[in-house]
């Protein structure tokens, strides 16, 4: 049916309701409500309800990541704050990017939203210094080494954006490469974004160092309407 589902909890939900109504109207989809128990012990029921949904919209609750629901949902999950944080004029569709397959789906979702709303796509990738060890007995610093991964991150970001640029040559795409914890960087950047999009999980190895799995943190600290894509 590709319905838009509004999850009704005990949290204030005027913002989530308004966002869900606009989404349903824009997609020509039906809007249906789903009561979610305050204890969040009905995860399986919620997950089953998303099998034929276009998106599940949930009201943001400070510090609540909706971990089980996001992990099991069959569709993207939007977490919408009652009042978006930050006083900057909002601009752009922000997407966190790493080298994982789920990140590619997040990029595609964000690009579609950017095209639909006439906003630029802002693609953010992050890397952190790599911790290295030493030989036993050697008195050497073993903290994070200042290995510059900017070039490797930029190459990964370009590859991730190739399909979007090919499919939407008219779309304005802006890239941002930062050093630090991706969760915090995306949270900060989202304060000025119209919409934030992340993948539900990242990868291990180098890809994880570049971005990692940030969805839990972002879902618990939303500063703008935020969509987690599986």
**Cα-Cα-Cα-Cα dihedral sign, residues 210, 215, 218, 222:** positive
CA distances from 36 to 20, 41, 56, 59, 189 (A): 16, 9, 12, 11, 30
* 85-230 fold: Rossmann fold (3.40.50)
Alpha-carbon span 227 to 131, nearest angstrom: 31
Task: Give the residue range(s) of CATH 3.40.50.620 domains in the chain.
Answer: 85-230
Residue-wise pLDDT tens digits, 84-103: 665 558 999 999 999 889 99
Can you count the helices (H) and strands (E) in the chain?
Answer: 8, 11
pTM, entire model: 0.87
Task: Give the residue range(s) of CATH 3.40.50.1370 domains in the chain.
Answer: 1-83
User: Percentage of the chain with pLDDT > 90?
Assistant: 61
pLDDT at site 64: 80
Alpha-carbon span 48 to 126, nearest angstrom: 34
Domain 1-83: state its class. alpha beta
* Cα pseudo-dihedral 180, 182, 183, 185, rounded to 10: 70
pLDDT at site 179: 92
Secondary structure in 3-state letters for 158-193: HHHHHHHHHHCCCCCEEEEEEECCHHHHHHHHHHHC
| Top-confidence range, 37-41, 122-126, 136-140, 201-205 | 122-126
């Amino acid at each position: 049916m590709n319905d838009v589902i509004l999850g009704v909890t005990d949290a204030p939900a005027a913002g989530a309701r308004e966002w869900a109504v606009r989404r349903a109207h824009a997609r020509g989809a039906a809007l249906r409500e789903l009561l979610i128990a305050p204890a969040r012990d009905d995860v399986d029921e919620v997950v089953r309800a998303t099998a034929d949904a276009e998106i599940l919209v949930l009201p943001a609750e400070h510090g609540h990541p909706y971990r089980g629901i996001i992990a099991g949902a069959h569709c993207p999950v939007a977490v919408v704050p009652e009042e978006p944080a930050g006083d900057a004029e909002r601009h752009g569709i922000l997407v966190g990017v790493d080298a994982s397959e789920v990140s590619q789906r997040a990029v595609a979702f964000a690009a579609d939203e950017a095209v639909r709303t006439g906003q630029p796509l802002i693609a953010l990738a992050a890397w952190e210094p790599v911790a290295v060890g030493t030989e036993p007995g050697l008195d050497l610093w073993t903290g994070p080494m200042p290995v510059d991964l900017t070039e490797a991150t930029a190459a990964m970001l370009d590859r991730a954006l190739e399909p979007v640029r090919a499919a939407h040559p008219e779309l304005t795409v802006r890239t941002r490469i930062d050093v630090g914890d991706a969760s915090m960087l995306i949270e900060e950047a989202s304060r000025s974004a119209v919409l934030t999009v992340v993948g539900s999980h990242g990868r291990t190895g180098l890809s994880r160092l570049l971005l990692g799995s940030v969805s839990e943190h972002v879902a618990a600290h939303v500063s703008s309407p935020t969509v987690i894509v599986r």
